[in-house]
Amino acid sequence: MRGTSPPPPRSAIAHLPSYVPGTPAAPREGRPGYKLSSNESPFALPEQMVEAMAAACGEANRYPPSGRELALRLATRYGLPAEEVAVAGGSLELLRDLLLAYGGPGAEVVYGWRSYEAYPILAGSCGARPVPVPLVDQRIDLAALARAVSADTRVVLLADPNNPTGTALAPDEVAAFARQLPATCLLVLDQAYCEFGEPEADGLALELRSELGNLVVMRTFSKAFALAGMRVGWCTAHPDVVASLEAVAIPFTLTAPAQAGAIAALELEGELRRRAQVLVAERQRLTTGLHQLGLEVPPSHANFVWLPLGEGSSGFAAACSQAGVSVRCFAGEGVRVTVGLREENQAVLEAAAAYVRGAIPG
């Protein structure tokens, strides 16, 4: 290595966990590789969405618009005041900005664990102290979460449905928890997978938001709306929270093609939600098949299923890999399998059968 050494980063950076993205799968025995490791939509985009994004690419020599048009469309769609909607280049960006604005050095960020991998990374990178609270029966333990909130807690992150377990909380449970939090603590309700759960939970979360000034409801276009590669996230919050987000936001991260794709997706919402229901039916078929093999699968309200296999997790992932399927393995804990198309899910069931037979060494 040539030259002198660079200055060291902040000490906390060296201790941050690394985000592990889903990996593609290699083809096996004439079968294409099935990537079921990233919770993506398996459906090709509707042509109208592709055309809208392609048209926006024709003006890529210009900076993208502010995102206000998309925010207004969302406000109209969900019956929200326009000043209570914020959009960004992905819900992760919104979460980072929330932690920058409300977390920071000396603050605590409380969340259930295991949950979304980015939570401890973003909390730690913003200088806050991550406070993970263990799950109970693969579900977020709201009572324990409440006990973990201290005078230093500034943000609580609540994934519902939870990733990677897929488990969901009853709306009345969430409401009771939210109402007991101190006003000095921001609750971020991360509903990235809400379109795959119970329909009534959708509107109830937004109603609760209108009641509580310290609640943020965060959603994404990456899952049911199939724009994972475009990066579009949005949230609804009190106008003061939206103003704080705008104060710390990096400009121009929501690209023009991404915004065009999201607006087109809203116009095609009925079709995209029908596709989501196809995946819900496949989720049930996959869950039933895994249960019949004697494997535990908690009830999922997302576009994936969770197998809490403990030390058997690596063996199950190896069986899937041998079948040409990539899954998300959390070694020593469990395996998350994205729900794909019928043939993809069938490949998972075949791999699971091989694992149960002991045909694949752990």
pLDDT reading at 249 higher than 50: yes
pLDDT reading at 360 higher than 70: no
At residue 362, the pLDDT reads 47
CA gap 290, 305 in Å, rounded: 10
Percent of the chain at pLDDT > 90 equals 87
What is the edge-to-edge ordering of all strands in the sheet holding 233-236? Answer: 85-88, 233-236, 215-220, 186-190, 153-159, 108-113, 129-134
Q: What does the block give as tokens for 119? A: 């939570």
CA gap 345, 348 in Å, rounded: 5
What are the φ/ψ torsions at residue 75 (nearest 5 degrees)? -60, -45
pLDDT digits (tens, 9 = 90+) for 8-59: 888 888 888 888 888 888 787 777 899 999 999 999 999 999 999 999 999 9
pLDDT digits (tens, 9 = 90+) for 284-340: 999 999 999 999 999 999 999 999 999 999 999 999 999 999 999 999 999 999 999
CA gap 339, 304 in Å, rounded: 5
Could you tell me the domains of the chain? 21-44+270-357 (3.90.1150.10), 47-267 (3.40.640.10)
CA gap 75, 10 in Å, rounded: 40
pLDDT reading at 201 higher than 80: no
